[in-house]
Structure 1
Amino acid sequence: MEITIKSAAEMAKVSRNTIYQAIRDGRMSRSPSGKVDSSEVLRVFGNPSDRLTRQEEREHIEHLKTQQQNLTPLDMMSAEKEALYQARIKALEDTLRQTQEREQQHIEREEWHRRQIDKLTDAIKLLEAPKASAKPKALFDRLFGG
């Protein structure tokens, strides 16, 4: 459906100059009657519902400024408290991490000690084992005490 340049600008939420620039750049075509097809507007500028007009942008910015100015000292205090709590949380997380690392070191040290105890126990068992005689005495030596 063909529409006027003004209607195209309103539809795309851009200025008429932007429409003319798109036509000059060759991004958008124009019919001999001077109108543009609505599908061309959508193709070049996309869905207009995703975009704010300049006036809507200005109004939105003013609204944000007003909201910021209307912050009470209590709101500012809440922001300060939140920052303080965030800092405390970070400090506690660091402490927890350090504690977990120390616990892991203690577990590893305990395992090492257990292995050492096992080695020493094995060594003691070997030392306490009855010693076998080197060679049984011959019959002659047993009889004559040699």
Structure 2
Amino acid sequence: MKSLSVLELSKLYGINRQTIYNHINKGILSKNSDNKIDFSEAIRVFGEPAKKQDVKEPVKIDSPSSAEVLLLRQQIDMLKNQLSDAKDRESFYQNQIETMQRLLEAPKANMTTFTDQEQPQANAAQVQSAPDTDDPKHDGLTTPEQTENKRIPVPEHVEPEPEKRGFWSRFFKPYG
């Protein structure tokens, strides 16, 4: 015979589940070892069902597993969105890195080194101070060759730094 759960039986007969549990507790209705009630037992206690439903029809139940499945699907959708956002961010940052690398590797036509900056100034001073009439080779369009860079001498005598003093030695040691 067909076995029904308490929920299926309550829907079939249109009675409250608590009524079925009360009948089971009083011994009027008995359950199988699998916690289901035989359909013949239900007919004995409650009579023929008023609704002419086929007992083989499954009764849809909002079980916790279906709620869990729905929750898991929502989480999967959320994770897919986060993954696509992360991929978009990664491609954007990768493009930024490539752009910065291209800018760093670009030739620097106007950039000069520190030593190169001093030489044009010295050359310009020599050109302005020297008249072009004395040098037959100089055409005025190019700068004459620089003879020699004169360096400024650094004084030999440099005072040593005073000894660093700790917090307490400032109060207890005399200056010396």
TM-score between both structures, scaled by the size of structure 2: 0.32
Which has the higher Rg, Structure 1 or Structure 2? 2
- Which structure has the higher relative contact order (CA within 8 Å, separation 6+)? 1
